[in-house]
Amino acid sequence: MSFTDAQIKRYARHILLPEVGGKGQQKLLEARVLVIGAGGLGSPLLLYLAAAGIGTIGLYDDDLVELSNLQRQVVHDTTTLGQLKVDSAILRLQALNPEVRVERFAERLTAATALERIAAFDIVVDGSDNFATRYLLNDACYLAKRPLVSAAMLRFEAQLSTFKAHLGDPHPCYRCLFPAPPDPGTVPSCSEAGVFGALPGVLGSMQAIETIKEILGIGEGLSGRLLLYDALEARLREIALPRDPDCPLCGANPSMTDLSHHHG
């Protein structure tokens, strides 16, 4: 293990932490993290992963930067309006830490490619904004045996957990909490109901924390726990998230053994 003088200076505050140190920083430099979405959650998440020295970041997003994004999607700015979000984000990440390698996917993750793509990374972080992607990620990460750090938000409220059901009991998957997606139209999107601008900053940063902890193997992770944050009331609470023995994906008699139940 050898660092350049510039790396020692850049990561000095990490190296000083006994829980991280030089060995931990080396793990971060060698890590491969797949991030889905360069929007509200992805913005702070990507910035902090790059700042921490994550060696390779895979980034999925097929959207363009719009003016309405800039109220919360701080990895982008006015000069990148109209650009692909992946390209806008890469510019910012390279400016922050030129050592970080970004693998660019200007597309949506699909069932046809999910397993192969996810298997090429150590850990996956969900910054998506739709249920179809959320369930596809959960199922694919379970089948590919990769941990998933997941967050979701709407208006002033958000939730966060880590799913590692591939490790077996007592670790649950997302379907243990919500067995199936809600009916279309029953849950409004952020574009329909709004989202408090600084809220994804909090949750995306927490996703970065949990991702880095998982890579380093330090502290207590969020598997089996769901954090709920109400920004309007300034309250953070936690609920236990047990594994469901009847879960269609990770239960004792699963009915979902591949991704054929996903379409597109």
95: buried, middle or exposed (CB in 10 Å: 19+, 13-18, 0-12)?
A: exposed
173: containing domain: 31-240
Indicate the pLDDT class of residue 1, thresholds 50, 70 and 90: low
Q: Would you say residue 13 lies in a domain?
A: no
Q: Where residue 215 falls among pLDDT bands split at 50, 70, 90?
A: very high
Question: At 190, is the pLDDT very low, low, confident or very high (cuts 50, 70, 90)?
Answer: low
C-alpha closest to that of 130 among 172, 177, 187 = 187
On whether residue 21 sits in a domain, the answer given is no
Longest dimension (CA), the chain: 55
User: Is 74's pLDDT higher than 90?
Assistant: yes
Q: What is the pTM of this model?
A: 0.96
Per the prediction, the chain carries an average pLDDT of 95
For the segment 6-28, what is each residue's pLDDT rounded down to a tens digit? 999 999 999 999 999 999 999 99
Tell me whether residue 49 is in a domain.
yes
Determine, yes or no, domain membership for 3: no
Q: CB under 8 Å to 195, separation ≥6 — which residues?
A: 40, 72, 153, 154, 155
CATH of the domain at 192: 3.40.50.720
Query: How many domains is the chain built from?
Result: 1
For 185-259, where are the alpha helices, taking DSSP H only?
A: 190-193, 199-216
Looking at residue 208, what is its pLDDT? 98
At residue 189, the pLDDT reads 65
Is 17 contained in some domain?
A: no
Residue percentage of the chain with pLDDT more than 70: 96
Q: Average pLDDT, stretch 183-208? A: 85
**Amino acid at position 76, single letter:** H
- What does the pLDDT look like over 151-182, one tens digit per residue? 999 899 999 999 999 999 999 999 999 998 88
Q: Is 12 contained in some domain? A: no
Report yes or no on 154 lying in a domain: yes
Residue 264 pLDDT > 60: no
Residue type, 164: K
Q: Is residue 11 part of a domain?
A: no
